Amino acid sequence: MGSLSQPKLPVINLSAKNLEYNSISWVKTCGEVISALEKYGCFVAKYDGVSQELHDAIFHASHDLFDLPTEVKVLNTSDTPSHGYVGQIPVIPLYEGLGVENATTADGVERFTKLMWPSGNGVFCETVLMFSKAVAELDQIVMKMIAKSYGIEEHYGPLLGSTTYLLKLIKYLSPQGDERNLGIVPHTDKTFMSILHQDEVKGLEIKTKDGEWIKYDPSPSSFVVMAGDGCMAWTNGKIEASCHRVMMQGSKERFSLGLFTFIRNIKIETPQELVDENNPPKFKAFDHYKYLHYHATDEGMRSKFPLKSYCGI
């Protein structure tokens, strides 16, 4: 009896030549993006905004960062939960991550760099800023497509103006033995949107609505675009946040990068255009950063659906 083929995430070309605003190919791509996000909460973007040279440079920079002593890395602290150093945690012993807040600004990247290298590291600083800006452009392309497809473009401007970017640099240790080991537990991101980019070591898995796990096969030009809890609330649940995990196997360490977006100074609120008799509002307007703090409480951590616990109607 033949085995069924494994499901794969949709792959969508978001390279610049296909993205002239409102062109036939742009409108067609909008449909592909919305279809993928509504079905899976994520998709794989082929994107030429990050060159092979920049791809190589950002992972070289990441290796340099994780080679620093632990006592230096733990200096990466933040008032916002999970925005600073995360590591040495018994339930996820293979995981280590650092966060660069305001990663699309020179000030934000320089502040982080001076913390890690007090005498400076110009190459690291330049590489992280260039990478973050390039991936932020991809985020904005996707957000414009979501807004256009749902007829809520006028609501995107205020969101864009209030968007902050966190770059997480992540390392997973190789597990001991031949067994598959959990690198990070199944979860949805508490972000608005997340864009993941990684080296060649596999491990990322996406959960479908049917409960299957799809394994992601990475490449240097591929980025996984994921909806977070914020996007789910904004679209009134039309787009559900993507549940994902990392499973580690083999002898290689795995390096990954995540550009995460958050909304500051304004509340995330479902536009009225997405609410009617058949689609009543599912979430109250909420402060994104207060939600992050709620999720870090015992109640938030225990909740299977923290967004619904926090602001569900």
Query: Could you report the per-residue pLDDT of 188-201, keeping only the tens digit for each?
Result: 999 999 999 999 99
pLDDT score for 179: 65
Indicate whether 88 pLDDT > 80.
Answer: yes
In tens, the pLDDT along 92-147 reads 889 999 999 999 999 999 999 999 999 999 999 999 999 999 999 999 999 999 99
pLDDT score for 7: 80
Indicate whether 69 pLDDT > 80.
Answer: yes
Is the distance from CB of 242 to CB of 206 less than 8 angstroms? Answer: yes
In tens, the pLDDT along 145-187 reads 999 999 999 999 999 999 999 999 999 998 876 667 888 889 9
Residues in the chain, total: 313
pLDDT score for 18: 67
131, HSE (Cβ side, Cα atoms, 13 Å)? 34
For the chain, what are the domain ranges?
Answer: 11-263+275-311
Q: 11-263+275-311 architecture in CATH?
A: Sandwich (2.60)
- Measured between alpha carbons, how far is 122 from 109 in angstroms, rounded to an integer? 10
Of 11-20, 37-46, 292-301, 302-311, the least confident: 11-20
Indicate whether 249 pLDDT > 90.
Answer: no
pLDDT band, residue 250 (cuts 50/70/90): confident
Is the distance from CB of 109 to CB of 103 less than 8 angstroms? Answer: yes
Q: What is the torsional sign of CA 174, 183, 196, 118?
A: negative
> Which DSSP string do the residues of 149-205 spell out, in sequence order?
HHT-HHHHHHHHHTEEEEEEEEEEPPPSSSS-EEEEEEE--SSSEEEEEE-S---EE
| H/E run at residue 260 | strand 254-263
Indicate whether 48 pLDDT > 70.
Answer: yes
